[in-house]
Structure 1
Amino acid sequence: VYDEAGQVVREWGKRGSGDGEFNQPGGIVLLRDGTMYVTDQCNHRVQKFTVEGKFLGKWGEHGSEPGQFGGPEPAGSRFAGPHFLAMDSRGRLYTTEGVFGRVQQLTQEGKPLAAWGDKGDQPGGFGGLQTGYSKKTFGPVGVLVDKHDRVWVSSLNDRVQAFTPEGKFLFGIGGSGSEPGQFARPHGVAVDSKGHLYVADAGNQRIQKFEVPGP
């Protein structure tokens, strides 16, 4: 945890699988009351803390069923997930699972509500060719929810796609390349107060900003 000057205020956690320990921590969601949720990728779970770092709970395990994470990948795979994390206006959480090609919607207690995604390259799918690789790859990575409760998901097939909270595909942007509007392994996504979309275009070493359609 850092202050506005960039100074470390506190830290917690160490490598492991116990309560409050991590193996590849990823996404974070912070509630207004100070409650924090953190994805623990290789432990295939989400952990809950106070803003001071006190452990409050955990949920999730390795598997393919709703509420589980990682799918058929080996339990130690760091690409299985859960990866990034987001929350909508109703307090529902969204996680991404890379090589399993899935987005899940869950309650704050870890109860599965919805899931979608596959390894196809059709609209709404998270598979296809990735910049710099000859074999097909797949995986949703970054996730955010905008003020209209649209769920934005970046994926390694060089696209960013928007969905309803239940997983209905709305539209997408991107494509492989280095021209404006194209991506090479997009990761983190964010929106500002005016609704502009920002994408961390990892393979092209840049951030891109977009105007996106209204609801």
Structure 2
Amino acid sequence: MTDRSAAAAAAVLVTMALSIGASPCAAQTDAGDPPLEHTTLVYPPYAHTLGIHRARPVHLALFLGDRARFDDPQGVAAVKFASSDDPDAKGDDFQLTLFGVNSGRGEVLYNSSMQTLAVYGEEGDGEGRFRSPHGIAATVDGRIYLADTGNRRVARLRWDSIARALEWAGAWPAGEPFDVATDARGQVYVTDRAANAVLRFADSAAGAGTGFLAPSPISADRWPLAEDARALLGLAVGDSLDPWYHPSAYRLYLVDLDGARLRAYGLDGAVLAEVTAAEIPGPGSGSGGFDYVALDYYGNVYVTDTGAGVLYKFDPDLRHLTTFPGPGPADEALEEPRGIAIWRRFGQVFVAEREGAQYFFLGTDFRTAEPVAVRRAGEPRQYGFDLFLTEGAIVTASFMDAGGDTLAVAEAGVYGTGDQAIAWGPKAWARPPPDGWEERAVSLQIEARPTYSSRKRFSLKRTFSIVWTDS
């Protein structure tokens, strides 16, 4: 195994990425990448992973022999430590340290380098011992937090940048901690199922080597929640001061009712949005429940559903965007997805599964009615059509005649998620249309290119018949 392929295997072994999307499509990816049926998330480029985008127990054995095996994987975390970041070297920016909770064995698996794996902890109590741990979080300044559920505490670990290893740093008491999240201000938030509360801890070690940290917007020892919040599970925090979190709001996303409900909370405890697992259409509806939560750069919300074997994607206001359709023969199908982590800078997504690992970049997917109703109005002509996007994208529209020859190409612009009214005028034509082209045009090829993550390596193209509508 080469150094690069070993690095890829080490990365995916610890945390596991997903693929969600809609119907089968013709996706343009790097040469060497296998075709995908679901493209809201896509495989990383072949040059990045040498094709190793999913790992199995056999790969774990390759690195660690009989010292470790997957046993009830749970939370995952991904981080680029400031201590290992060379600001003058851009080629290493995507190389992350990944942590995965191996709950059944009381362990944390992690890549101590891009070629090696390591194990921290064992089952039990005391320093460096854990019982049925669940969520985990890591920060750029070298702090790692673990919800040590069975020992009723939040374990504080520290990254030794010289030894490239985890070490014990203490613990905070908690009744029944399940998940843990951090913000950009040194705050740590923990779901405590015994207290029906999201606890807040301030770590005096926060900010080491990274400069001044702004004060927390929450002054109490817990985040205010609605009175009916109970049976808490996964959580995620979006901080407006995080350079890789685009929304200007500070929000908490919380799973409760043992996975039946997902809510978005404001700082004052107001419920800003909510959705239940039962009301989501399509695969997984009503058969499982929400588990772990992660946010991407644009504030979109990703939630695993272990029981149904699916993953949901919502916009920041919890409007459902898409569902990965769950177990099946496809290579990217999820197998009991658990924890999820997203390194927001580059849209690298990792999801824990029952026995293995996957690794994906953010792509995009779209749907529209067929035939596509193409609007035309005014002089000079303005054109447009409706499109539903699962991830923000740059949209190009190419019109073709009955023989498949291209008549005109418009760069229609950048659009966000959900229902979008695609529109353009005369200046948007990259290939201006010839006289009489509207009578000859019989089909429309829509191309969507992601705005980040896989934007230079992936585009999705689909061709539809059209009808003209005048307005």
Cα deviation for residue 145 of structure 1 reads: 1.1
Cα deviation for residue 106 of structure 1 reads: 0.8
Can you give the 5+ residue segments of structure 1 that lack an aligned partner in the other structure?
15-20, 71-79, 129-137
**2:332 is the counterpart of 1:172:** no
Q: Distance in 2 between matches of 1:108 and 1:126?
A: 30
Q: What is the aligned partner in structure 2 of residue 2 from structure 1?
A: 158
* Structure 1 residues 154-211: Cα deviation after superposition (integer angstroms, max 9, x where no partner): 112111111112211111224124642212221111223322322111x233334354
Structure having the higher helix fraction is: 2
Cα deviation for residue 36 of structure 1 reads: 1.5
Can you give the 5+ residue segments of structure 2 that lack an aligned partner in the other structure?
1-156, 206-218, 240-246, 365-390, 393-471
Q: Distance in 1 between matches of 2:158 and 2:188?
A: 15
**2:196 is the counterpart of 1:40:** no
* Structure 1 residues 60-93: Cα deviation after superposition (integer angstroms, max 9, x where no partner): 67xxxx45323xxxxxxxxx32333332642101
Q: Tell me which structure has the larger Cα radius of gyration.
A: 2
Q: Distance in 2 between matches of 1:59 and 1:92?
A: 11
Runs of 4+ in 1 over 4 A off after TM superposition: none
Cα deviation for residue 126 of structure 1 reads: 4.9
Q: Distance in 2 between matches of 1:125 and 1:117?
A: 12
SS in structure 1 of the partner of residue 222 of structure 2: strand
Residue identity over aligned pairs, in percent, reads 20
Contact map agreement 1:39 1:82 (CA 8 A) in 2: yes
Contact map agreement 1:101 1:126 (CA 8 A) in 2: no
SS in structure 1 of the partner of residue 272 of structure 2: strand
* Shift in CA distance, 168/190, structure 1 to aligned 2, threshold 3 Å: same
Aligned ranges 1:111-190 → 2 under 5 Å: 111-119=270-278, 122-123=281-282, 126-128=285-287, 138-156=288-306, 157-177=308-328, 179-190=330-341
Aligned ranges 1:25-36 → 2 under 5 Å: 25-36=177-188
Q: Distance in 2 between matches of 1:166 and 1:211?
A: 19
TM-score by length of 1: 0.72
Q: What is the aligned partner in structure 1 of residue 222 from structure 2?
A: 58
SS in structure 2 of the partner of residue 47 of structure 1: strand
Q: What is the aligned partner in structure 2 of residue 68 from structure 1?
A: 228
- Mean Cα deviation higher: 102-111 or 151-160: 102-111
Q: Distance in 1 between matches of 2:332 and 2:257?
A: 23
Contact map agreement 2:182 2:237 (CA 8 A) in 1: no
TM-score by length of 2: 0.35
Number of matched pairs: 184
Larger relative contact order (Cα-Cα within 8 Å, sequence gap ≥ 6): 2
* Structure 1 residues 88-109: Cα deviation after superposition (integer angstroms, max 9, x where no partner): 6421010112634111111244
**2:175 is the counterpart of 1:22:** yes
